[in-house]
Chains A and B, each alone.
Chain A
């Protein structure tokens, strides 16, 4: 009857792992709260747009290599961003400018 035990163990494990995934999300995530009106807006427009459109899933550090690498083509990035996320074309360009400036430009 080991095969029945194995099937039950697999089902149990699947459930445990799903609970773990939920637990993980509850520990590390929160829906971004709207910024209070009293707080000053971020300085550069690109930084603010990054916070609005990108920071939910990405960090500046994780994206910068894709924007500043030697083989990077700006037109390809803009074409990609046109289908990715909710920002407009002009916003995409400002975000790319912001990411392209490197650590000193933050």
Chain B
């Protein structure tokens, strides 16, 4: 898995630096130009593949998802977006310092070089602003997805137009071939993700079998493949649940699979959905048995599968219990007797879904459960308050460094728990967490 990760990462780096490297070899300018101008050009040559590669990072490539985890790819996409923004801004600013008039930033300029460059720059600025400020701008997730795609396509098209209009390093034949190849590759990825994938999913619908209110603002949604076998998954992985009239719908949400990886004969799987936004509060409760949905999976590296360790320490906060439920049920169904410590943090008992089910699992697998409630009732004798170092020290197993750790919950909780585990002496490589709160 490490080798595959290194191979993918190396491919990415080569993809980004290749145009600049080839440009050095075919330098079409007979007269040497100032260093500031060439640094600006280099940033532009790096920004071009950076922006196009952004499409691939979030195109649900399963082969890339397995070694890194889809949440890590999305996080990387975010960071590379910031980097592309920095390069795209620095590219004209360096020229502004030398020769370019500031009016070149106008997207209404009469000069096609400036116009295309300005449109690309402002589209990328808008991409980042609408992503970082989505909640403040009160953009729904679905609306943001649509805006994000539209701006990304605008930026990419304007960048291509800019490269052609400048006609500098892109003029020599080899560079034309390289730029054309990049555009075709990005177009192919986009088509595969936005067209081929939904068309394939359309022929593989799923049916809602059950939609149970578990309390704690959480619903368990059981879905069954209709006319196809579904897909296998590893405990802890997630899938995209698509609701709406077709797989082209913008209602696409990543959800941890909350049921056993040892699937029943009908191939059904379960999701646990907490009411957190427009879709989970407005659409999910209305998914009645018989409703048609689409499920794409499985993705992610947050899984007990293939993890060495004497046992597992699972630390869940709130709806972070969903993938943990899948892990526990899978251990039960596989007769796995490895020791498991579950630390389950919630506001109070009523906001800890699946508690009764977890209690029943105690007798079936080698499980110790520690509940940590912020505001428990007066007669509560267990841990109360936040999950602290003291709480962890009291409940970590004797040979805790030989265990593998899975942390899933609100980001601040995960940050704190990871820091505490490392402070306690757990190796970072033995800690897995999953973070999807990107926008």
Contacts and interface: CB of A to CB of B under 8 A. Distances in A.
Contacts of A20: 17, 20, 42, 46
Nearest to A50: B31
A14 interface: yes
Given A17-B46, A29-B35, A62 B83 contact: no
B264 interface: no
Main DSSP-derived SS at the A contact region:
helix
B32 A30 contact: yes
A58 to B, nearest CB: 8
Interface in B26-56: 27-35, 37-39, 41-43, 45-46, 50
Instruction: Give the bracket for the number of chain B residues in contact with chain A.
Output: 35 or more
Contacts of A16: 13
B330 interface: no
A22 interface: yes
B111 A80 contact: yes
Contacts of B16: 17
Contacts of A10: 76, 79-80, 83
A2 B111 contact: no
B168 A59 contact: yes
A29 B32 contact: yes
Task: Select the residue from B42, B80, B103 with max chain A CB neighbours within 10 A.
Answer: B42
B232 interface: no
B185 interface: no
Nearest to A27: B24
A2 B433 contact: yes
Interface residues of A, number: 40
Nearest to A11: B79
Interface string A71-105: 00000100010011100000000000000000000
B161 to A, nearest CB: 14
A24 B435 contact: no
A59 B167 CA distance: 9
A9 interface: yes
B28 A59 contact: yes
Nearest to A33: B32
B301 A32 contact: no
Interface in A1-29: 1-7, 9-10, 13-14, 16-17, 20-22, 24-29
Nearest to A84: B101
Contacts of B39: 21-22, 24-25
A3 B45 CA distance: 28
23 contacts: A1-B431, A2-B301, A2-B432, A3-B433, A4-B418, A9-B9, A10-B76, A13-B80, A24-B20, A24-B23, A24-B42, A25-B39, A28-B23, A32-B34, A56-B31, A56-B33, A56-B34, A57-B33, A57-B34, A57-B95, A59-B31, A62-B168, A83-B101
Given A14-B83, A17-B16, 11 more contacts: A1-B433, A2-B69, A2-B433, A5-B72, A10-B83, A14-B86, A22-B39, A56-B33, A57-B34, A59-B168, A61-B167
Interface of A: 1-7, 9-10, 13-14, 16-17, 20-22, 24-32, 51, 55-59, 61-62, 65-66, 76, 80, 83-85
9 tightest A-B CB contacts, nearest first? A10-B79, A21-B42, A24-B42, A25-B38, A30-B32, A29-B38, A1-B428, A55-B31, A25-B39
